[in-house]
Amino acid sequence: MYFGDFIRSKREEQGMSLRVLSVMLGVTPSYLSDIERGRRFPPSGQLLKKMYEALGVGDIERYYDLAAEAKNDIPEDIKRGLLANKVLYQEIRRIIDAARKDGKA
């Protein structure tokens, strides 16, 4: 499932129109429509979080993963965790190096 399809299904499950959700988020209905149709990348930062809260998605990891996959990016929650804990950089590099040595990276 793609991010836009996921958002549309959650919005429709709640019986919410594009217009209602757009007012809640402070964006235009056409902007949301473009996201749902895959014409625009998912939002980032506060707007992504606000959309999650407005839709009551539940599975935040899946939500962030779908948004990141659509942008070929790292999920927002992981970015925040990395920025908050620089020690993780070293650990990630260690894992990447080990995978490279094993021929898996």
Dist. CA 50–CA 48, nearest whole Å: 5
| Average pLDDT of the chain to the nearest whole number | 90
List Cα–Cα distances, 73 to 11, 17, 20, 49, 67, in angstroms.
Answer: 24, 28, 29, 16, 8
Q: What is the pTM of this model?
A: 0.75
* Residue 14: alpha-carbon gap to chain centroid: 20
Q: Is the pLDDT of residue 104 over 80?
A: no
Tokens of 102: 């094993």
Residue 32 pLDDT level (bands cut at 50, 70, 90): very high
* Residue 94: alpha-carbon gap to chain centroid: 26
Write the pLDDT tens digit of every residue in 34-64: 999 999 999 988 899 899 999 988 888 888 9
Set out the domains of the chain in order of their start, with CATH numbers: 3-73 (1.10.260.40), 75-105 (no CATH)
